[in-house]
Amino acid sequence: MNTKNTAFATAIICWQKRYGRHNLPWQCDNPYHIWLSEIMLQQTQVTTMLPYYQRFLRRFPDVHRLARAHTESVMAVWSGLGYYARARHLHATAKIIACKGFPQNAASWQTLPGVGKSTAAAITIFAGGGHHAILDGNVKRVLTRVFAIEQPTNKAATIHTLWKLADSLLPTHNIKPYTQGLMDLGATVCVRVSPRCEACPLSKQCLARQRGIERRLPHRSPRPIKSVRHIAMALIYHHNKVWLQKRPHAGIWGGLWSLPEKEATADLRDYCCKKFGDTLTPREEMAFTHTFTHYHLHAKVLCYACYKPPTSSPTAKWMQKGALADAALPAPIKKLLLAFFAP
């Protein structure tokens, strides 16, 4: 019978002790700090999120302060960090926690908005008591390489295999340094391009390295070709202000402020005419393209000067050009507006 692979965990725990990160501000026993850090670390590196983390905690020192805050101020503090759905989910979860207290196990954590299986596992491990596998991008990379898993990692069956493998590798003790070590190793040594195998504690047991295929892993099956989608947007300005609409929470750029948008330019002109009447003067046209996972978005932007603006409403408002940089806008819209108002 094959014995349990303890060499993997042992090597990581030992490496973590000497080379891992030990002084991160959320390495404490405050579940609020740990939860916030894990959300901010989704799709984001430590060096990027660190100043945001500090700023966020100064503004919202505990979960009750966060729960009581207005969504707008949460989004404003999050501004610049990207992936704004994380901020919306964080706020929604804060309200639940303020009412019902912090979850006491991973399964309960995972029912909360923005907390998936891996994040729930990490939070409960670092907050103390949890004993679960994690499987984020770093861990996937380490596992597919050390065990030479060549199946495409964007397939459910492979993900399932990786979870099983991660479960089987869990050590009985030292779960915190093990988990932190796995994350740190993937982030600093077993990186996607140019892995630093000479500095890796697993290099001797790494099957991908033995076979010389570490750079080809993890493997993904190709994605379908992207289509192109055309839309029309209106940039309506009044002195140094621009007319923005709040987007619905579902769909792209959910909950962010953006320009009025229609499928076709004719529809857009109709809308502008109805909304602003003859107070609008057509100016130049602009355009941009933005690529999503599944399609290229091509936007034609009709610019109008407006001399008599309508008043704001909950879902539409005028924004000063000075407020654009810190506002919750989609990245391409922010870029376009900053360019438009640039001196």
Task: List contacts with DNA (CB under 7 A).
Answer: 42-45, 48, 80-85, 89, 112-120, 135-138, 140-141, 153, 155-157, 160, 191-194, 218, 220, 224, 250-254, 256, 291-295, 330-331
The region that residue 289 occupies, defined by phi over 0 for left and psi between -120 and 50 for alpha, beta otherwise, is: beta
**24 vs 297 by CB, closer to DNA:** 297
Q: Minimum distance between the CB of residue 140 and DNA, rounded to whole angstroms?
A: 6
Concerning whether 38 is annotated as a catalytic residue, the answer is: yes
Cβ closest to DNA, residue 137 vs residue 171: 137
Shortest distance (Å) from residue 254 CB to DNA: 5
Kindly tell me which of 179 and 304 has the beta carbon lying closer to DNA: 179
Q: How far is the CB of 262 from DNA (least distance, A)?
A: 17
Four-CA torsion 124, 185, 158, 3, nearest 10 degrees: -80
Residue 292 or 307 having the CB closest to DNA: 292
Question: What is the C-alpha radius of gyration for the chain, rounded to an integer number of angstroms?
Answer: 24
Residue 168 Cβ, how far from DNA at the closest point, in Å? 19
Q: Which of 301, 308, 338 is nearest to 320 (CA)?
A: 338
d(CA 131, CA 129): 7
Q: Residues 162-169: contacts with CB within 8 Å, 24+ apart?
A: 162/135, 163/133, 163/135, 166/133, 166/134, 166/135, 166/139, 167/133, 168/4, 168/5, 169/5, 169/8, 169/9, 169/133
**Total Cβ atoms within 10 A of residue 72:** 11
Residue 197: which of 180, 214, 181 has the closest Cα?
Answer: 214
Do 143 and 162 meet the contact criterion of CB atoms below 8 Å apart? yes
Angle at 77 between CA 75 and CA 81, to 5 degrees: 80
Question: What's the closest the beta carbon of residue 152 comes to DNA, in angstroms?
Answer: 10
Q: Choosing from 38, 72, 261, 263, which is the catalytic residue?
A: 38
At residue 175, the 3 state secondary structure works out as helix
Distance of closest approach, residue 342 Cβ to DNA, in angstroms: 16
> From CA 155, how far away is CA 22, in angstroms rounded?
34
What burial class does residue 172 get, using C-beta atoms within 10 Å of its C-beta: 0-12 exposed, 13-18 middle, 19+ buried? exposed
37/138 with CB nearer DNA:
138
Smaller CB distance to DNA: residue 273 or 287?
287
User: Measured from the CB of residue 44, what is the shortest distance to DNA in angstroms?
Assistant: 7
Q: Taking a C-beta distance cutoff of 8 angstroms, is the pair 301, 288 a contact? A: yes
C-beta of residue 46 within 8 angstroms of C-beta of residue 22:
no
Q: How distant, in Å, are the alpha carbons of 62, 76, 291 from that of 122?
A: 20, 27, 32
Q: Which two tokens stand for residue 234?
A: 């209106």
User: Judged by CB, which is closer to DNA: 229, or 275?
Assistant: 229
State the catalytic residues: 38
